[in-house]
Chain A
Amino acid sequence: MMWLDTIVQGILLGGLYALFAAGLSLVFGIMRLVNLAHGDLIVLAAFLILVLVTALGLNPFVAALVAIPVMFALGFALQYLVLNRTLGPDILPPLLVTFGLSIVIQNALLERFSADSRRVSAGALETASLQLGPINIGTMPLLTFLSAIAVIVGLNLIFYRTSLGRAFRATSDDRVTAGLMGIRPDRIFAIATGLAMVVVTIAALYLGTRANFDPTIGPARLVYAFEAVIIGGLGSFWGTLAGGIIIGVAQTAGASINPEWQILAGHIAFLLVLLARPRGLFPRAVD
Chain B
Amino acid sequence: MALLETRRLTAFYGDFQALFGVDVALDAGETVAIIGANGAGKSTLLRSISGVLANGADQVLFEGRPVGALPAPEIVALGIAMVPEGRRLFPSLSVEENLLIGRYGRAVAGAWSLEGVYDLFPILKERRRNPGTALSGGQQQMVAIGRALMSNPRVLLCDEISLGLAPVVIKDIYAAFPRIRAAGASIVIVEQDIGQALKVADRVYCMMEGRITLSGRPSEIGRDDIHAAYFGTKTP
> What is the interface of chain A, defined by CB distance below 8 A to chain B?
163, 166-167, 169-170, 172-174, 176-184, 284, 286
Contact = CB atoms under 8 A, between A and B. Distances in A.
Contacts of A163: 100-101, 104
Interface in B104-136: 104-106
Contact of A182 (B91, B100, B151): B151
B10 to A, nearest CB: 21
Given A163-B104, A170-B101, A184 B92 contact: no
Interface in B129-166: 147, 151
Contacts of A177: 84, 88, 90
15 contacts: A166-B104, A169-B97, A173-B93, A177-B84, A179-B52, A179-B72, A180-B52, A180-B76, A180-B81, A181-B147, A182-B76, A182-B77, A182-B106, A182-B151, A183-B73
Chain B's interface size range is 20 to 34
Contact of B104 (A167, A174, A176): A167
B101 A174 contact: no
A181 B92 CA distance: 15
A173 B77 contact: no
Given A180-B52, A181-B147, A166 B100 contact: yes
By DSSP majority rule, is chain B's interface helix, strand, loop, or mixed? loop
A166 B101 contact: yes
B52 A173 contact: no
Nearest to B148: A180
Contacts of B73: 179, 182-184
B156 to A, nearest CB: 12
A133 to B, nearest CB: 43
B105 A170 contact: no
Nearest to B102: A181
Contact of A166 (B50, B76, B82, B93): B93
Nearest to B71: A179
Contacts of B93: 166, 169-170, 173
The main secondary structure of chain A at its interface with chain B is helix
A284 B131 CA distance: 13
B181 to A, nearest CB: 21
The 7 closest A-B pairs by CB, nearest first: A182-B105, A179-B72, A182-B76, A169-B92, A177-B88, A286-B91, A173-B90
Given A166-B93, A180-B81, A182-B76, 15 more contacts: A166-B97, A166-B101, A169-B90, A169-B93, A173-B91, A177-B84, A177-B90, A180-B52, A180-B82, A181-B102, A181-B104, A181-B147, A181-B151, A184-B71, A184-B73
Most chain A CB within 10 A, of B93, B100, B147, is at B93
Nearest to B86: A177
A165 to B, nearest CB: 9
Nearest to A184: B73
B97 to A, nearest CB: 5
Contacts of A172: 92
Contacts of A173: 90-93
B68 interface: no
A26 to B, nearest CB: 14
A163 B102 CA distance: 11
Contacts of B52: 176, 179-180
Contact of B72 (A169, A180, A286): A180
A181 B76 contact: yes
A163 B81 CA distance: 19
B210 interface: no
Contact of A167 (B71, B72, B101, B151): B101
Contacts of B100: 163, 166
